[in-house]
Amino acid sequence: MNKSEILNTIHELLKNIAPEMDPTLLGQEENIREALNIDSYDALQFIVALCEKLKIDIPEQDYGKTATIKSLLTYLEKKII
Q: What is the pTM of this model?
A: 0.93
Per-residue pLDDT reduced to its tens digit, 10-66: 999 999 999 999 999 999 999 999 999 999 999 999 999 999 999 999 999 999 999
Q: Which residues pair with 31 in a beta bridge?
A: 68
- What range does the domain containing 28 cover? 3-80
Indicate which CATH number applies to the domain containing 36: 1.10.1200.10
Give the Cα separation of 19 and 22 in Å (integer): 7
How many structural domains compose the chain?
1
Per-residue pLDDT reduced to its tens digit, 67-81: 999 999 999 999 987
14-46 burial, b if ≥16 CB within 10 A, otherwise e?
A: beebbeeeebeebeeeeebbebbebeeebbeeb
